[in-house]
Structure 1
Amino acid sequence: MKLFVISLLPIISLANLFSDARPSVHETEEFVIIRTVEGKPLFEYRKKPSEKAKNNAPHYSRTGYIHPLYSPSGKVITGDYAPDHPHQHGLFFAWTKSSFRGKPTEFWNQKKKLGDIRFNQFLGKTENKKSLSLQFEQIFTANKDSNEPILKETWKIVIPHKQRDYFQFDLTSIQSCATEDPLVIERYHYGGMAIRGNDQWMIKVEDGNPLGKMITSEEKNPENGNHTRPRWVAMHGPVDGQECGVVVMNHPDNFRFPQWVRLHPTMPYFVYSPMVEEPFTIESGKPYISKFRYLLYDGTPDHGVIEGSWKEWIKN
């Protein structure tokens, strides 16, 4: 399948010609929003549950994730509290079948009430001449009533000052045991760093397929690419009649790279899942570190542009 419909060649805006141009960070009680130097929204990090949480059972309420992700034209790429999967929240990290101190834990399927992930603190921002860095901390607990953390997770997000006509940021997740006891991640067919797409991508077209599409670095799709091990996955589709999408790249430094990926056959979500064939353990004193790059774009994915970004990323 060929994937080049529109070119994503770099465009330097007038704002980017000035050395003092910087992305902006605005914090409220509910979220932290990041805007580009042109003032365009890039994403929001959720400190408190969104308004949609009120329309769902309390166990689906969640914080410590990113939603919305925006395309350069302002289209909302991600979904949250979808009617089919209300436990999926924008850009989120959640382990599925797992155990702590001999008892089952579950951070993905919130209906089981075996785990919770929540925002803990905004650790602040730093800047250099080329980029802005943000750090957020989440905690994993056994349930919503527990205040004893199992894991502490830090997200370090690096945003280039100069964006192209697609947006880019890099996210590093560092998960550390909060006690001397390990978290066992059991073998399962999904769980890990995930992204949920816009609900409009669930709409079926005449052939019965959804509007949302996925393609991997090996040009596989949900029909033949589930549980393959791609370097990146692109998801795209129309939002309010305009095509847009997101690419998520998996770094060679990551555990069991290239990690398996769960591509759902009909729903707009996918997840990098290092436990598909074998379990593993996150142990005290040995942080679990994983790195991802995100490209947000209008139009359809351009394989050449994505590969160029990939090669640039892995050199660093």
Structure 2
Amino acid sequence: MFSYLTKPSREAEKHEPHFSRTGYLHPLYSPSGKIITGDYAPDHPHQHGLFFAWTKSSFRDQPTEFWNQKKKLGDIRFHRFLEKGDHPSFFSLQFEQIFTSGKDSDMVILKENWEIRVPKKQTTYFQFDLISTQTCATQDPLLIEKYHYGGMAIRGNKQWIETGADGKPLGKMITSEGKSQENGNHTRPRWVTMHGPVDGQDCGVVVMNHPDNFRFPQWVRLHPKMPYFVYAPMVEKPFSIEPDTPYISKFRYLTYDGTPDHQVIEG
């Protein structure tokens, strides 16, 4: 279904050290085994599978940046495995990653817990839920500044960059409101699906934004040409993650073969 990276992949060795990252999901598979996610894309080597990263931000009046790794203003890495669980209806895994002020820095700004829940009963879609809990590691807040992207993101397979006969990318995005990457950027959908051919067969993923999430329905950054999107709650105004107040985000993921079935998604 997916892999969680606790150490840098072999692909990381082909890039500058500051692009190396852990603490994200890749590959993410369709039910038939097609790889849906991409990693270390030539155009954006800082985008890693299914990942959570804040962009323009500040800590103790100093700029921080966890998305654009080339700036070297922050880093996210796997810290420790917490636990696995066997519940009546689902299995669970919990990991902790840390947000630091730089690649080699010991200054931890945020701690983040990922709880991944996988239902025991699956259908023709693979389903799992991801609950992210971010807490301040100090008594100082992290300010998330107004910006046009940043948050829970996913990068699609590199084959979706290729263009079809119409000159448009093979990777397609559709929102719950029927918008595409051409007209859906910075709208506020309940879900987004991204799909396209991988080795000649269509597959894709749906990412659902939970109603409990901050500023739901959150804005989305849908790139018009590249296969990635991100739920970005800071698009119109800033906010801060405060000490003793966890920032909790919940998302449901459905991977599938073929093209998206809106009735299944809405069900």
| TM-score range for the pair, normalised by the shorter chain length | over 0.9
Q: Give the number of aligned pairs.
A: 267
SS for the counterpart of 1:238 is strand
Consecutive unaligned residues of structure 2, counting only runs of 5 or more, are none
Shift of 1:148: 2.0
Inter-partner Cα distance in structure 1 for 2:167 and 2:49? 25
Are 1:138 and 2:105 matched, yes or no? no
Shift of 1:128: 1.5
Are 1:286 and 2:245 matched, yes or no? yes
Are 1:78 and 2:34 matched, yes or no? no
Aligned residue in 1 for 2:153: 194
Q: Give the letter aligned to residue 81 of structure 1.
A: Y
- Taking the TM superposition and a 5 Å limit, the aligned residue runs for 1:103-182 are 103-182=62-141
Are 1:217 and 2:163 matched, yes or no? no
Tell me which structure has the larger Cα radius of gyration.
1
Inter-partner Cα distance in structure 2 for 1:152 and 1:53? 23
Aligned residue in 1 for 2:186: 227
SS for the counterpart of 1:52 is helix
Aligned residue in 1 for 2:266: 307
Q: Give the letter aligned to residue 229 of structure 2.
A: F
Shift of 1:268: 0.2
Q: 2:55 aligns with which of 96, 103, 127?
A: 96
Shift of 1:204: 1.1
Aligned residue in 1 for 2:210: 251
Inter-partner Cα distance in structure 1 for 2:116 and 2:104? 29
Inter-partner Cα distance in structure 1 for 2:63 and 2:181? 30
Q: 2:3 aligns with which of 23, 44, 50?
A: 44
TM-score by length of 1: 0.84
Aligned residue in 2 for 1:312: none
Consecutive unaligned residues of structure 1, counting only runs of 5 or more, are 1-41, 309-316
TM-score by length of 2: 0.99
* 1:57-95 Cα deviation digits (max 9, x unpaired): 110000000000000000000000000000000000000
Q: Give the letter aligned to residue 5 of structure 2.
A: R
Q: Give the letter aligned to residue 152 of structure 2.
A: M
* 1:274-301 Cα deviation digits (max 9, x unpaired): 0000000000000000100000000000
SS for the counterpart of 2:12 is helix
Aligned residue in 2 for 1:205: 164
Shift of 1:206: 2.1
Q: Give the letter aligned to residue 55 of structure 2.
A: T
Inter-partner Cα distance in structure 1 for 2:261 and 2:163? 24
